[in-house]
Amino acid sequence: MQYGPAVRRRKLGAELRALRARAGLKSGEAARLVGWHQSKVSRIETGRSGVKPADVRRLLDAYDVRDPELYELLVVLAGSDDDGRHHWWNAYRGLLPSTYSDFISLESQAGSMRTLENSVVPGLLQTPEYAREVTRAAVDGAHDGKVDALVEVRLARQDVLRSNKPLQLSAVLDEAVLRRTVGGPEVMARQLDRLREAAHLPHVRIQVLPFGVGAHIGVTGPFVIFSFTNRSDLDVVVLDHLTSSLYLEQREDLRSYEEAFDSLQGQALSPEDTLDFIAGVADGA
């Protein structure tokens, strides 16, 4: 059973500890309410032990937590139940690395996502054809069935932009993202059209960082910042590597990446000028 990265365990444990204190309960009292030993509550609250979503529900009910958004967020942070209910991506759990499942779970509950991309279009904005070419390159030698399933996952993730409370997406794209021909001219033409369509959505902000800016703070690599509505203590930075992902939770790390993203937005073209820029690249393709 995968319970997610240590960052999620610690954040979840700290939140459960705060909710217990708010309910006026000591750890032993909380344990008795749910029929556990006190040590189990302590291990969960300190992040030393993983916890199933069903157990999180028992604690939240015992603490009389009635905020539905907070309730669901903490359940999602716990990971997946044995039967895989509630989380669509569990249908692919034999295929997806745990770090990717962790990323999707955060993405599904975040209020906003800020991302810098230096090489490829962000997954939430990819067309099926573009996603297929990127997947083939990233998973070298994968058979067609696996590629198909991974593309399905990528496209299913895009539902967060179409929900009743859509994810607020801010993306800064290096010019290289637009210039790199992925899958050939026709695939790129459709992908550039998709970017322009997405840029008109009220909850999507796209800015291009042109080559003329020169060296900038984002040259060290792409990153994602997830933020949660009214829960800044749950915010997290995600850095992708070839074989793993790094989750940064410390306040000073978050502040550094937030300041970096603000700087990149200031150097990038405005959203309006970005639309013109993408159109120019498409015309010249």
Looking at residues 175-184, what average pLDDT do you find? Answer: 96
Residue predicted with more confidence, 193 or 76: 193
Q: Residue 258 — very low, low, confident or very high, per pLDDT cuts 50/70/90?
A: very high
Of 4 and 199, which is predicted with more confidence?
A: 199
Helix axis angle, 53-62 relative to 38-45, nearest 10°?
110
Provide mean pLDDT across the span 34-42: 92
Residue 3 has pLDDT above 80, yes or no: no
Long-range pairs, 94-98, Cβ under 8 A, ≥24: 95/146, 95/149, 95/150, 95/153, 96/153, 98/2, 98/4
Q: How confident is the model at residue 243 (pLDDT cuts 50, 70, 90)?
A: low
What value does the mean pLDDT take over residues 262-280? Answer: 97
Q: Is 73 left (phi over 0), alpha (psi -120 to 50) or beta?
A: alpha
What's the confidence (pLDDT) of residue 153?
A: 94
Looking at 72-76, 106-110, 187-191, which range is the least confident one?
A: 72-76
Q: What is the pLDDT of residue 210?
A: 96
Q: What percent of the chain has pLDDT over 70?
A: 92
Please report the pLDDT score of residue 133 as a whole number: 95
What residue has token string 């708010």? 22
| Arithmetic mean of pLDDT, 160-172 | 95
Q: What sign has the CA pseudo-torsion 124, 127, 128, 133?
A: negative
β-bridge mates for residue 227, sequence order? 112
Q: Return the structure tokens found at 16.
A: 């459960």
Averaged pLDDT, 147-156: 94
pLDDT at 71: 86
- In sequence order, the 6+-apart residues with CB closer than 8 A to the CB of 144 are none
Query: Across all residues in the chain, what is the average pLDDT?
Result: 88
**Confidence check: pLDDT of 242 > 90:** no
Q: Who wins on pLDDT, 42 or 51?
A: 42
**What are the tens digits of pLDDT across the range 196-233?**
999 999 999 999 999 999 988 888 889 999 998 766 67
**Closest Cα to residue 78, out of 62, 98, 55, 100?**
55
Helices (H), 86-214: 98-109, 128-138, 144-157, 175-179, 185-199
Query: Residue 123 pLDDT more than 70?
Result: yes
Give per-residue pLDDT as tens, 50-99.
788 889 999 999 999 988 888 887 887 776 544 444 578 878 878 888 77
Residues contacting residue 225 through CB under 8 Å, at least 6 positions apart = 113, 114, 115, 235, 236, 237, 238, 254, 257, 258, 261
In 164-235, DSSP assigns E strands to: 168-174, 204-209, 223-227
Cα gap 70→84, rounded to integer Å: 20
Task: Report yes or no: 42 and 27 within 8 Å, Cβ to Cβ.
Answer: yes
Is the pLDDT assigned to residue 102 strictly greater than 90?
A: no
